[in-house]
Structure 1
Amino acid sequence: MNRTIRLPGDDPFLAPLDAVLADVAIALQLPPGLHAQVGERYEAVRRHAEREGSPLRGRIVRFYPQGSMAIDATISMRGTDEEYDLDILAELDLDPWADPDEVLDLLFEALKDYPVSKGVERQTRCVTIRYADGMHLDVTPSVRLASTLDRESHIFHANPDKPASEHFHVRMNAYGFAEWYRARTPLERKFAEEFNRRFNDAYGLTVRADAEFDEVPDQTPLVVKNTATVALQLLKRYRNVAYADATGRIPPSIMLSCFAGYAAGGASTLSDMVIRQARMVASELQRAGANGTRIAVTNPALPTECFTDRWPENLAQQQDFAGKLTKLADELAWLQTADISQEELAEWLQARFGKRAVERSMKQLNQRLGRAVRDASQSYTPKGGVYVPSAPKLVGIGAASAVAMPAMARPHTFMGGCRR
């Protein structure tokens, strides 16, 4: 059977399944080189947009991150492991009721000659800047509404292929949502310390083996800070792989992020948190479907802002995603106690999180296990622990056939509603 060496302090990745999931999540992160460039690039974009002669000269109030970038949940994009989608809000000094088409055209005019090899493109709600290394910035124009808190604003919807009658203003509060999410997902010191140590190791960055969390040098920034955010990244990746061949819209990241915020809190392993989030989303999708309605998930910082205004398009889409999430949660719960070989687990992971990411994560796992066996001691820090295998089984404490599938979680009642 497997042997676990426990030392003072709890390693959040002591369980092999949690260790492997953490390695998969690390493979999805923005690489250190690109991570360091994010701030530089969006500052360069801002300077270009307000340069002398720009139509936005003197009209830019601030640039700030939104979405995954604002909550440290960015992962590689749908369909590839080498592209990263980063979202920026450009707060402009304009009339909040300005014509949506004119506002988007104005931003495009200010950015269309920005020097990137892959070009600049106007979208329905943003302007996209594409870099040769796979990163692209989506810059969304916004105008803050008067007498509101937390940067409540209008963004602008104007599909250039649609008539003006189908253009409209969208009330939103991305800043308020990010503040809400961060308040619900505070720093988990031990989790962050161990996860970021693994991240540094995966990219060959050197940090003293016995360094405390707050002693990590500034040049090796924190990648993530809590279990809920890593679980969210894994759930987003699962969605990306599950819908890799989809041609229409897929379940929105902001909806999953909102559920992750609600699911956060309390001691939890990484696998437990992925299961919790998957069941929570599935439960709400099924609840809406049972009532014959599409799910309506709203911004906790602005209840009139609907995160699901463009997905799902019909009941079949939300039932399909609910079924996928339920299956994922059931299988993860089974894997927590099932005996399974490393090869079998790798095959399961690849089907759900992508071949390249899993190959990288399994390589990291094998390197750590090899060091642990050679050293016959702890792998990381005197405050943690290490998993040492004595047989070619990777996960489990009992026979797979003896594991019962868990029941669905009880329905939740915290979600708001928005008009369709």
Structure 2
Amino acid sequence: MEFPLPNTRPIDQLLEDLVEELQVPPGRYEQAERSYKSLGEWLHRPDSTVRNDSPDVYVQGSFRLGTAIRPASDEEDYDIDMVCRLDYEKSALTQAELKRRVGVEVKAYARRYGMSKPEDGRRCWTLAYADGAQFHMDVLPAVSDFEKRRYLSEAGPALARMGATALAITDKEHDGFRQAGGRWPRSNPKGYALWFRDRMGQAFRSRALNEARRMQASVEDVPAWRVHTPLQGVIQILKRHRDLMFSDRPDDKPISILITTLAAHAYNQEERLSDALFSILQGMDRYITRRNGVDWVENPADPEENFADKWEEHSERRDAFHEWLQKARSDFASAHQALTADGVGAVLSERMGQGLVERALGRRNPARRPGVPARAVRAMNLVLAPAYMRKPRWPQAAEGHVKIRTASFTQNGFRPQSFVSNGAPLPRNCSLRFEADTTVTGRFKVYWQVVNTGREAEDADCLRGGFSPDVAVRGGLSHSENTLYRGQHSIECFIVKNGKLAARSGQFIVNIG
């Protein structure tokens, strides 16, 4: 699927605002930092059973990469992944023994701070914090994988640099979990993070330099979560799209490390978020290779590790990934064709979440923000009242209500797209259609008042401001206009019955860019 490249300002704006709404608040990152430092201090206390094993605790995963997203609901937790590395050789103990030793201290830590008993998971110990904290911490026991480090040190400078932090980790489902001197699963979150920083490229370096100056620190000390790059933003958007698409099929949901790795490979250093999104969606599946007849997504920090290793056993997960990718391409291609931010939002609401999209739209239009009181919305709404705008000539005798129910625009023969009052600017040379409903019954007349503003309308002697009679049609009341002049304009519907003003809709503001 090819993505066209016309003016992308509406989708650029909404994508940027979606990323801002998806961002994990800085306080959560600071909370995660305090948590792993607290656990590290606990492991180093005088009576710690692992104090002499040089415990090293650090964050990994999306919190390290700056690609974490807010939970979709208040019922979900932030999942913070930690590594707890002890200074052992793999041959000195089994995975089971390492898991037990770390577990002794994690359980003691939980008791000390009144937490519930840690869960003994497949790979990690899980610490559940108090309900109000809304996060849990997965602690992964690990030791340095010196064998892997030596192997990667001979594979070239790039792999040697990343491989210097290779780990052997625990996994209860691994064949060698209880075998002395057996094979161990491997990981390398620090090496992967180095590769990911490299893939963010100049966008990261320039932003990190500015942040380093602000922090009065070195660039190397700037956490990735403090630097928002297009690559990070695209991954956050794609993760939320995936989460909602597979909300009822969690076992088939493409895993984050697959999306992150393929997106980082496909990123071509685009500076604009929409350009990065379409480039990544277009190219990410090209980095799924085949090795000996097996689908392979290589860990950039360890070429022997396959992030798609479960696809061979669970072919439905491979199918689900490609299903998701095709759907993401289709959804964002449709959003790309929308000509206003509201049109983009209408396309993406189902796949990104209506609440999220509404909050994003509200970042540039305060009246759209959820929770804004009605009177505050009214105060924010623009009312046009230039001198040439005529006042209603009919005596008022309120009999009912009339409301402009829908407004849509059409450009170049494409399907109509809805828009809202005082929303994002519409393109010029579009056809507009307004539909109104009224509670007034019996025989009545309908009038529409259009008020134009701006130099272009003035130069064309088309400021208007009068009343145009119309007819009531079956199914509602309608009126058509065109977007000819830049500026802020209004339209209002009036119902006149027996020579008196029975109802008026209030102004609907149309912005034209």
1:101 counterpart letter in structure 2: A
Deviation at 1:61, TM superposition (A): 3.8
Cα 1:367/1:89, change in 2 over 3 Å: same
Q: Partner of 1:356 in structure 2?
A: 355
3-state DSSP of counterpart to 2:235: helix
Deviation at 1:255, TM superposition (A): 1.6
Query: Is the 2:267–2:279 Cα contact (8 Å) retained in structure 1?
Result: no
Cα 1:249/1:319, change in 2 over 3 Å: closer
Deviation at 1:358, TM superposition (A): 2.3
**After the TM superposition, which residues 167-316 of structure 1 pair with which residues of structure 2 at under 5 Å, given as runs?**
169-188=184-203, 223-248=226-251, 250-283=253-286, 295-311=295-311, 313-316=313-316
3-state DSSP of counterpart to 2:337: coil
3-state DSSP of counterpart to 1:42: helix
Query: Is the 2:199–2:267 Cα contact (8 Å) retained in structure 1?
Result: yes
2:172 to 158, 177, 201: 158
Cα 1:354/1:261, change in 2 over 3 Å: same
Are positions 1:36 and 2:30 aligned together? yes
d(CA) in 2 for partners of 1:89 and 1:118? Answer: 20
d(CA) in 2 for partners of 1:168 and 1:356? Answer: 47
Cα 1:254/1:189, change in 2 over 3 Å: closer
2:136 counterpart letter in structure 1: H
Provide the identity percentage: 24
3-state DSSP of counterpart to 1:251: coil
**After the TM superposition, which residues 58-137 of structure 1 pair with which residues of structure 2 at under 5 Å, given as runs?**
58-77=52-71, 83-97=77-91, 98-113=93-108, 114=110, 115=113, 117-132=115-130, 133-137=133-137
d(CA) in 1 for partners of 2:408 and 2:25? Answer: 31
Cα 1:265/1:61, change in 2 over 3 Å: farther
Deviation at 1:123, TM superposition (A): 1.0
Deviations 1:157-185 (A, max 9, x none): 1149x9958x9611222211110110121
Alpha-carbon RMSD across the aligned residues, in angstroms, is 4.0
Pick which of 168-177 and 77-86 moved more.
77-86
Query: Is the 2:14–2:341 Cα contact (8 Å) retained in structure 1?
Result: no
Pick which of 259-268 and 179-188 moved more.
259-268
Query: Is the 1:185–1:265 Cα contact (8 Å) retained in structure 2?
Result: no
2:122 counterpart letter in structure 1: T
Query: Is the 1:236–1:253 Cα contact (8 Å) retained in structure 2?
Result: yes
Deviation at 1:309, TM superposition (A): 2.6
What TM-score does the superposition give when structure 2 sets the normalisation length? 0.59
Pick which of 37-46 and 348-357 moved more.
348-357
Cα 1:334/1:354, change in 2 over 3 Å: closer
Cα 1:398/1:311, change in 2 over 3 Å: farther
Which consecutive unaligned segments of at least 5 residues does structure 2 have?
A: 1-6, 150-162, 217-221, 369-376, 383-405, 417-513
Query: Is the 1:279–1:326 Cα contact (8 Å) retained in structure 2?
Result: no
Q: Partner of 2:320 in structure 1?
A: 320
Query: Is the 1:76–1:85 Cα contact (8 Å) retained in structure 2?
Result: no
2:101 counterpart letter in structure 1: L
Cα 1:71/1:398, change in 2 over 3 Å: farther
Q: Structure 1 segments of 4 or more deviating over 6 A?
A: 212-215, 368-374, 391-394
Deviation at 1:335, TM superposition (A): 2.3
Pick which of 76-85 and 34-43 moved more.
76-85
3-state DSSP of counterpart to 1:41: helix
Cα 1:139/1:190, change in 2 over 3 Å: closer
Query: Is the 1:77–1:85 Cα contact (8 Å) retained in structure 2?
Result: no
d(CA) in 1 for partners of 2:241 and 2:325? Answer: 9
Query: Is the 1:85–1:137 Cα contact (8 Å) retained in structure 2?
Result: yes
Cα 1:398/1:292, change in 2 over 3 Å: farther
d(CA) in 2 for partners of 1:213 and 1:158? Answer: 41
Deviations 1:141-162 (A, max 9, x none): 11112262421120111149x9
Deviation at 1:188, TM superposition (A): 2.1
Query: Is the 1:79–1:241 Cα contact (8 Å) retained in structure 2?
Result: no
1:330 counterpart letter in structure 2: S
d(CA) in 1 for partners of 2:11 and 2:86? Answer: 47
Query: Is the 2:80–2:135 Cα contact (8 Å) retained in structure 1?
Result: yes
Q: Partner of 2:345 in structure 1?
A: 346
1:71 counterpart letter in structure 2: L
2:107 counterpart letter in structure 1: K
What TM-score does the superposition give when structure 1 sets the normalisation length? 0.70
d(CA) in 2 for partners of 1:108 and 1:298? Answer: 31
Q: Partner of 1:57 in structure 2?
A: 51
d(CA) in 2 for partners of 1:190 and 1:90? Answer: 29
d(CA) in 2 for partners of 1:260 and 1:118? Answer: 37
Q: Partner of 2:481 in structure 1?
A: none
Q: Partner of 1:387 in structure 2?
A: none
Cα 1:73/1:163, change in 2 over 3 Å: closer
Pick which of 308-317 and 29-38 moved more.
308-317
Deviations 1:271-327 (A, max 9, x none): 232233233334556x76xx9955211111211122223356433321232122122
d(CA) in 2 for partners of 1:120 and 1:227? Answer: 37
Q: Partner of 2:449 in structure 1?
A: none
d(CA) in 1 for partners of 2:30 and 2:118? Answer: 22
Cα 1:214/1:150, change in 2 over 3 Å: closer
Cα 1:52/1:189, change in 2 over 3 Å: closer
3-state DSSP of counterpart to 2:227: coil
Cα 1:271/1:90, change in 2 over 3 Å: same
2:272 counterpart letter in structure 1: T
1:315 counterpart letter in structure 2: S
d(CA) in 2 for partners of 1:153 and 1:332? Answer: 38
d(CA) in 2 for partners of 1:350 and 1:24? Answer: 11
d(CA) in 1 for partners of 2:259 and 2:29? Answer: 23
State how many pairs are aligned.
349
3-state DSSP of counterpart to 2:90: coil
Deviation at 1:105, TM superposition (A): 1.9
Query: Is the 1:156–1:169 Cα contact (8 Å) retained in structure 2?
Result: yes
Q: Partner of 1:48 in structure 2?
A: 42
